[in-house]
Amino acid sequence: MMTRDAAATPSRRWRWETLTGGGAVLQEDAFRRLWLGRLFSLTALNAVLYTLLVLAVGDGNGASIKSALFITAYLLPTATLGTFSGVLVDRLPKNLVLAGVSAARFGLMLMLVMSSTSLWTVYGVALLIAMTSQFSGPAEAAALPQVVRSDQFTVANSTNNFGGLIAQVAGFAVLAPLFLNTVGPRPLFLVSGVLFAAAGAFFLTIHTLGSLRVDMDETVDAVRDVRKQFAEAWQTLSRDVAAYMSVITVVLSGTASLVAATLMPRFTQDVLDVPVKNAIYLYLPATLGVVAGLRTVHLFERRIPRGALVGGGFGLLMAAFACLALTKSIAAGLSGMTGLDDTAARIATAIFFSTIAAFATPIVGIASRSLVNERVPMGIQGRVFAAQTVLGNLASIPPILFAGVLSELVGVAPVMLLTVVILISAAGWTLAQAVSRPRELDDATAA
């Protein structure tokens, strides 16, 4: 009887995690602490960033310019701290890094609670939070191989992404609107501080992420030689074509998503004839695509190599993006076959292909991260994930500006199609360069 009860306990305790297939991996104590720490930290982070954006934009004119300035302020540390944070994450115990980030964020919440929410304070805190994110992202990604087995990488990354989805809903859609429309931002900052403190406690107690002893001499030497350390990690990554291409593909997929977000208001108005304020209701079904992608990626992985899965997910994303650009033409055919009103057919087409895109995005991200966890030496993964963040943020800025300006001149659909062509061409060119690189090294060695 006791054996039967013990066997039944896990399914009762973690039954809801079957959404991601993560029930078994979440019973690993170290991973569960990492997952809960990320959940609390990301929930608080999303709520705080949304609130700071609202405070920065305010009620006056020029909302788009203020929003752009706020986002720029948040992305700015990427260019300055990316290499430094990656090297430091690889050299220090990751539980200390993550706990330190949580402590710093807790301190920033106390600052917001006790100070005025002036524009300078909002931008200053946003900049400091962005600096902490340069350490937390690579540390969380590089910590995974230390808390789960290699055969659990895909399920663990999928479960992590599902936790991120929960944190987005809880932070953006629940906590921030609730507090802003009732008691105001200061109580929200206090609650967020408590969440950051709880996250820090979870992170600090993951003993498998490293001992509390730090070799300061080795760490200082690595930081002094940060560029060399970062370059060595990137060279190691570039020798593995599959891992290298998976990182580049994630960067290109992220660029596509940001361009789509930039064009979404105009697409909603011009193509779907729906007010922008109601756009959320059109794209809400896409969250089902995200959940489906998280739930099925580990099933695909059993039959498809991770590198091919990354490429297939990217191809599906590009196809969905192209079909969204052709919404009017596809909807016209759908209307002719079903008798639907033209506007209804366009909306149905947009919902379907945006859901497909949402399904493909986590497949690319999870398969890529699992591939890097598996193939890249553990000692340089922090630098690799930091480099991915740097590339993703910096590479997205020109396309976003270009798409925003060009869409005003020629419309949304041509810009979306051009984006697909450019991203596919970039992926093909990068793949050709990566494949030829080993041959060039062999020729140089032979000479």
304-353 pLDDT tens trace? 999 999 999 999 999 999 999 999 999 999 888 888 888 889 999 999 99
In a domain, 74, yes or no: yes
Nearby residues of 334 by Cβ (< 8 Å), 6 or more positions away? 340, 345, 348, 349
User: Do 270 and 205 belong together in one domain?
Assistant: no
User: Do 119 and 257 belong together in one domain?
Assistant: no
User: Do 218 and 237 belong together in one domain?
Assistant: no
Answer whether residue 18 shows pLDDT above 60: no
User: Do 320 and 429 belong together in one domain?
Assistant: yes
- Measure the CA–CA gap between 234 and 440, rounded to whole angstroms: 17
Please identify which residue in the block is written with the tokens 């963040």.
389
The whole-number pLDDT of residue 330 equals 93
- Residue 435 in tokens: 């494949």
Nearby residues of 173 by Cβ (< 8 Å), 6 or more positions away? none
User: Do 314 and 177 belong together in one domain?
Assistant: no
Q: For 62, left (φ over 0), alpha (ψ -120 to 50), or beta?
A: left
Q: Which helix (H) or strand (E) holds 28?
A: none
User: Do 91 and 152 belong together in one domain?
Assistant: yes
User: Do 246 and 220 belong together in one domain?
Assistant: no
Which pTM value belongs to this model?
A: 0.71
- Measure the CA–CA gap between 77 and 134, rounded to whole angstroms: 8
In total, the chain counts a number of residues equal to: 447
In a domain, 115, yes or no: yes
User: Do 152 and 32 belong together in one domain?
Assistant: yes
In a domain, 176, yes or no: yes
Domain boundary among 198, 224, 250: 224
User: Do 27 and 156 belong together in one domain?
Assistant: yes
In a domain, 87, yes or no: yes
Domain range enclosing 168: 22-224
- Measure the CA–CA gap between 94 and 388, rounded to whole angstroms: 18
In a domain, 1, yes or no: no
- Measure the CA–CA gap between 303 and 316, rounded to whole angstroms: 17
- Residue 82 in tokens: 């990316």
Residue 305 φ then ψ, to 5°:
-60, 145
User: Do 290 and 210 belong together in one domain?
Assistant: no
Alpha-carbon distance values, 208 to 34, 147, 180, 200 (Å): 11, 7, 39, 15
Query: Among 96-105, 157-166, 382-391, which range has the highest average pLDDT?
Result: 96-105
Rounded average pLDDT over 99-122? 90
The whole-number pLDDT of residue 322 equals 94
Domain boundary among 224, 245, 260: 224
Domain boundary among 224, 247, 267: 224
CATH of the domain at 259: 1.20.1250.20
Number of domains in the chain: 2
User: Do 92 and 168 belong together in one domain?
Assistant: yes
In a domain, 12, yes or no: no
Nearest to 30 by CA among 211, 198, 208, 213: 208
Query: Among 94-108, 146-160, 406-420, 431-445, which range has the highest average pLDDT?
Result: 94-108
Alpha-carbon distance values, 207 to 29, 202, 435 (Å): 10, 10, 40
**DSSP assignment, residue 150?**
G
In a domain, 4, yes or no: no
User: Do 347 and 409 belong together in one domain?
Assistant: yes
In a domain, 10, yes or no: no
Other CB atoms within a 10 A radius of the CB of residue 304 amount to 16
